[in-house]
Chains A and B, each alone.
Chain A
Amino acid sequence: MLRYVGGRLLLLLITLWLISTMTFVLMHSIPGDPFTSEKKLPEQTLKALKAKYNLDKPLPQQYLLYIKNLATGDLGISIKTPNRTVNEMLEDGFPVSARLGLQAIVIASLAGIVMGMIAAVRQNRPADMILMFIAVLGISIPSFVLGPLLQKYFGLKWELFPLAQWGDGFWGEFKFTVLPSIALAFTPLALVTRLMRSSMLDVLGNDYIRTAQAKGLPPLRVLTRHTLRNAIIPVVTIMGPLVVGILTGSFVIEKIFSIPGIGKYFVESISTRDFSVIMGVTIFYSGLLILMNFFVDLVYGLIDPRIKLGEKEAG
């Protein structure tokens, strides 16, 4: 097990290195640089600026410098917002995005699992149809439509929740986070519901469910003890990508609800060619995705005894 974890962590480093190299190459193959703008800068200033950010050196040398800094955990200074290091930007923005994302994930997974279960047990009956209708809505309504709608009704018309406010970092006040969390959770919720429903139906058709019924267990016990654990495996599988999807997808929501998260750097840095921010955010999110997948694999082994991580089956 320890060997397995060690191996996976090593793999994580290698993957991160590959991603950073690729991002570096791709970034520098886009025409233009951070200082390309409508207003032409004087030759001298441009030169000085480029020298400041090491952009005047040949590419291989820039690359080596960057990797060296990266190895020490230094993501560099933002080019467009001077005096701010990328590390600082991540430190400020990530807790906000993480809070929002976590809440959304909790809503999406818990409600999704319960809704999927109900839909499966009541297959082809009214409850199932209503839930599946909601799920189709969730998949087809983009968050930039749902967000403003929530704001209009829950914020402005009924004044249930405050709008466009956020507390302090991760510990912002709960009431500010409700609407954005719901808006962010809606699509993943629909995905989880549908997946859970089909997975449940699949499990319910299995012979061992009939065995459990033949034992005389009442339906609820069959459901909780024999169905849930087997049905949840596919949901756990998509959890890793889903978490990262929610974190990155929060950009739109952050913009709509004016939340000071990490999402805005993610998009703005690309249009302004802020090299160090692009690199920093990309590497940060890649690392997160890899860690999440790793975590999911570990949970997998806990749920399904047939999956033994890093061990060879004896016999």
Chain B
Amino acid sequence: MAVLEVHGLHVSFDTYNGEVKAVRGVNFSLDKGETLAIVGESGSGKSVTAQSIVRLIPSPPGRIKAGEILFDGKDLTQVDKKEMYHIRGSEIGMIFQDPMTSLNPTMTVGKQIMEGLIWHQSYGKVQALQRAVEMLRIVGIPNPEKRVYQYPHQYSGGMRQRAMIAIALACNPRILIADEPTTALDVTIQAQILDLMKDLQEKTETSIILITHDLGVVAEMAQRVAVMYGGTIVETGGVEDIFHRSRHPYTWGLMKSLPRMDQKQEDELESIPGSPPDLLSPPQGCPFADRCPYAMQICHEEMPEQTKVSDSHQVFCWLEHPAAPKVNDLKVNILSK
């Protein structure tokens, strides 16, 4: 059963230059205990989508223009502020990209974990402290009885991200939104943090929305993937679908740009030429049309419709249209390269 459903979400930012349409009609759902990865390059709208779920986009200038976010049968775009404060942190936890700056430097780590417990679940101080120690132990911080009284500057980067996870999970939320949780960490620490998140997810059955541009992380963590481009989802499917049977030229481009084991050192990494569309005046048609090697006339004129490849796999591309030329040969070419 879906814990969270997002229908037709539109988010805009009002700037001096006009309205930036950062998210333009995003649909997805999240099941219990599932990890959904939202992938895309910078400016594709993935973070804005995530922050809109908990209404954390700075407003003004940001605003949710249309759409509904159904959580527990309630539309989060409509609930009043007070109710939102109680959903944030206790029902939906969040962790952010940079653990070095995401913790308050003048408050002990323990207090930062306790805060949510005291506020949401009316814990007493002693009780909250016990829970904070327990949380630190769960996320794998050695000596939690001592560490709970320390300040963030006494923690290393990886430990701070662990502490962030402890804060986010302290109230046992049903959804954890992880906004590029490993981007700012060393590779070895990245693996540890991902393992920790997976481990905790199995124990608590939390659903995770993982926002990232790292396809390696996606392969490691996610069951389902939504590929975002220019404020819309261009392809969505299971991990297998996206990695082995992807149908969208943008997804192919992403896959091609990954470094490969069998690549020679002199070879340059593949990249997708061009730059993402200007969301001040988003293109009428497919946002990827300008950079797409297979773009046809219609791609520039009309937004592609959804094509169901299988029950779990959907793609938005005109190439799927029966009248479109087949590019199957090409795909094989890319994957076997």
Chains A and B form a bound pair:
yes
Which residues of A are interface residues toward B (Cβ below 8 A)? 206-208, 210-218, 221, 225-226, 229-230, 303-306
Is B116 an interface position by the 8 A CB rule?
yes
Is B90 an interface position by the 8 A CB rule?
yes
Q: How far does the Cβ of A51 sit from chain B's closest Cβ, in whole Å? A: 62
A-contact bits for B148-180, CB 8 A (1 contact / 0 none): 000101000000000010011000000000000
With a cutoff of 8 Å between Cβ atoms, the chain A residues found around residue B103 in the complex are 208, 211
CA distance A10 to B36 in the complex (A): 63
With a cutoff of 8 Å between Cβ atoms, the chain B residues found around residue A218 in the complex are 82, 85
A217 B104 Cβ-Cβ under 8 A? no
Q: Looking at chain B, what size class is its interface with the partner chain?
A: 20 to 34
Is B93 an interface position by the 8 A CB rule?
yes
Most buried by A among B87, B90, B102, B168: B102
B102 A216 Cβ-Cβ under 8 A? no
CA distance A223 to B82 in the complex (A): 16
Q: How far does the Cβ of A115 sit from chain B's closest Cβ, in whole Å? A: 22
Q: A226-B104, A226-B107, A305-B151 are in contact. Are A216 and B119 (CB under 8 A)?
A: yes
With a cutoff of 8 Å between Cβ atoms, the chain B residues found around residue A207 in the complex are 96, 98, 101-102
B151 A306 Cβ-Cβ under 8 A? yes
CA distance A230 to B167 in the complex (A): 20
- Of all chain B residues, which has the CB nearest A226? B104
CA distance A305 to B152 in the complex (A): 10
B96 A211 Cβ-Cβ under 8 A? yes
Is B2 an interface position by the 8 A CB rule?
no
CA distance A211 to B88 in the complex (A): 11
Q: A216-B85, A218-B85, A304-B106 are in contact. Are A210 and B90 (CB under 8 A)?
A: no
Q: Pick 7 A–B contacts, CB within 8 A, sort by A.
A: A207-B101, A208-B103, A211-B96, A211-B167, A215-B88, A216-B86, A216-B88
A216 B105 Cβ-Cβ under 8 A? no
CA distance A211 to B109 in the complex (A): 13
Is B331 an interface position by the 8 A CB rule?
no
B105 A208 Cβ-Cβ under 8 A? yes
Q: How far does the Cβ of B178 sit from chain A's closest Cβ, in whole Å? A: 11
With a cutoff of 8 Å between Cβ atoms, the chain B residues found around residue A215 in the complex are 88-89, 115-116, 119, 167
B106 A230 Cβ-Cβ under 8 A? yes
With a cutoff of 8 Å between Cβ atoms, the chain B residues found around residue A216 in the complex are 84-90, 116, 119-120
Is B227 an interface position by the 8 A CB rule?
no
A210 B102 Cβ-Cβ under 8 A? yes
Residues of B117-160 contacting chain A, CB below 8 A: 119-120, 151, 153
Is B327 an interface position by the 8 A CB rule?
no
B94 A221 Cβ-Cβ under 8 A? no
Option from A214, A226, A304, A305 in Cβ contact (under 8 Å) with B89: A214
With a cutoff of 8 Å between Cβ atoms, the chain A residues found around residue B153 in the complex are 305-306
Option from B90, B105, B108, B119 in Cβ contact (under 8 Å) with A221: B119
Option from B54, B85, B105, B164 in Cβ contact (under 8 Å) with A217: B85
Is B309 an interface position by the 8 A CB rule?
no
With a cutoff of 8 Å between Cβ atoms, the chain B residues found around residue A208 in the complex are 101-105
CA distance A17 to B69 in the complex (A): 71
Is B334 an interface position by the 8 A CB rule?
no
With a cutoff of 8 Å between Cβ atoms, the chain B residues found around residue A217 in the complex are 85, 89, 115-116, 119
Is B56 an interface position by the 8 A CB rule?
yes
CA distance A217 to B112 in the complex (A): 11
Q: How far does the Cβ of A196 sit from chain B's closest Cβ, in whole Å? A: 16
Option from B56, B105, B112 in Cβ contact (under 8 Å) with A230: B105
Q: How far does the Cβ of A22 sit from chain B's closest Cβ, in whole Å? A: 39
Q: A210-B56, A215-B116, A215-B119 are in contact. Are A229 and B96 (CB under 8 A)?
A: no
A211 B104 Cβ-Cβ under 8 A? yes
CA distance A303 to B86 in the complex (A): 30
B106 A214 Cβ-Cβ under 8 A? no
Q: How far does the Cβ of B258 sit from chain A's closest Cβ, in whole Å? A: 29
